Structure 1
């Protein structure tokens, strides 16, 4: 199922996944970065409070170490406000009014440098704590004191949540920009494949024979292999046609020898045997001509783009100069905008056979008409001759059947013409006209536009 999915859809899904993952990572990363930034700023703020607490250390009237200088922030005086200080010494623990009757659980051995950590405070609220161990002045007894200031982390959490809400619209806009950029990237990246499709269509239409080498290096190996395949196929077809031609040439000598035997049989008075052999010779010649014509059509493989109007005019121009053609009235009705998938020489031979046949049986006129019919090119060749007996009309196009058995005829014959039309993807049909004469209708596939 995945292998049948188009490249464009694959790239779209990959783009959506990558953009989604990138935006999720950006959301998480920016949120953590903002949280750390806010935490750092808050830590700097409470470090200032910690320095004020240490600077305000002194002894009260009873000689107990305490913070004698009042801190500026009023939250230290409001119970459970979320901002607290605490000083622990050998003489006991002093704390801000905001702690009420609670005590902060300070880590042991904080060290002389400010240390930042998280603890659980009153009511189970997480607190950001900055503490430091200092030695008081001699006038204060040169004793070790652990001073700490803590703030409720809910403010940091709330600021981070606000930042995330503000970030979402910008991430949505960024997602749209990234998707638009991804769509443009897909369109640009797949453009060589579109060009490849158009060039293959040109090869199929006969406008070109190779894909060429001006492709990106990722596509170039594919186009090189296709061109090599086309060349190999042409070579194989050429050799096959040559073998067919050699076979036909080799058959001529035995057929000529048989023709000589026919003559000797007639001279010997054995006319029946001569007629039988002569019939076999004619059949073999028709079969050879038939297969040679099909091989020639197969070799070209509908890779041509031919103007049937020009071919019809060329054929009629030649036939008008024949003794029979000079006596006939020729009519051509054809537009100039139709192209068919057939080699020009093959089409000329096919139309020539049908037109010669019409001229042979016509009394006064022959008409050729080209039209578009059901997505195909229809070529009608009409004469005003006697037509074909109704009981023979269905068998005329069968192999070995001929309209006029009294004449040797020339060209391919109607049965071979029908095979050639089928090999080119078309069809041949016969119909007697109501006004007299025969209409031969040749249907051929139209060539699509050169742009594919």
Structure 2
């Protein structure tokens, strides 16, 4: 039973089982109706044949009149139909008079006992051909009878009954031969239909096999989605599956990015703490203040990155954020991390420099770019801003080695770094670029007059409704 259930779980097995059950039933009903139609056709042909024989007898019969009275019918010695002349040929002709007495029979019936009048004649149908099937001598025969009234010279009617009997031997033989041929051909048709069904099923279900192969390749990691062209009935399913897979991959990528961004964002506060603890010069109160500030910063970073991980779009794009306080906090923190460099800092920001963005996003964006400037700059860093149309342009410059023109696009991708001698994972600039794009901003990398790189950030200015 479990094996049968397992087999029936296959679509092909179910369709083949249904075909194996329904096809014989269909062919059986077809054979039954075809046999019935053929048998009715043979019966109609037999009726028409016997009608022709009745007409033959009626046409050659001649009435004999004596003393103005109808005496008898005169029939020719031989008939044109050969079967009426050969004894026991199976075709027999009879004529009965009004007194139910046999007055004539064909030569073929000379050696047979005549049938009973009531068995082969129906009196209630004068002028009509009556066709029936009768058992005569325990054998099936077809009987046709026709009643006619002949009038004598005085107008007195004289009834006569013409009867033709034909054995059913030929009828049965023809019907048997037809049935044998019919069931033979139907059986052959059923066999070939089953073979055709198997071929059609294999051909029709081939796209499902192709889809299974594509899914297996995707599962093994050879492809990231379900590739290939499929029939239109399956294409909608494939497209929907690909959309689900793309969303799932995007979600996983966002989670990975968020974890990487979280780790990257925590580097600066941890570096501040590490550098100050390593110096061991601050008083307990000063150290406690620095630790409190950096722990609060780390808590904000964790909250911010968790919010980004569960949100597919930027939130708070209509907030007003001042640039100068964020820049001062970042400069102060990074100056402690890179205290050994004794970097010269130039902050040329208007106290009213505003952008339409979330404070945490701006903190993350500027923090990553300023950390790069402190890391690669040699002695000087400058940060300035100016309005360009409906955007605020923020320039961050250093006097480091700079960025080659052919590498300005590549370094904005995750994991891409120019200087592998410096510690890092190549995440900061990618995070900055993602934040800028989320606000429909832009970023350009060029050569700074200081000698190093200049990162120009374009963010939207707040509108009156913000």
Q: When the two structures are superposed, what TM-score results if normalisation uses the length of structure 1? A: 0.49
Higher relative contact order (CA 8 A, sep 6+): 1
Q: When the two structures are superposed, what TM-score results if normalisation uses the length of structure 2? A: 0.48
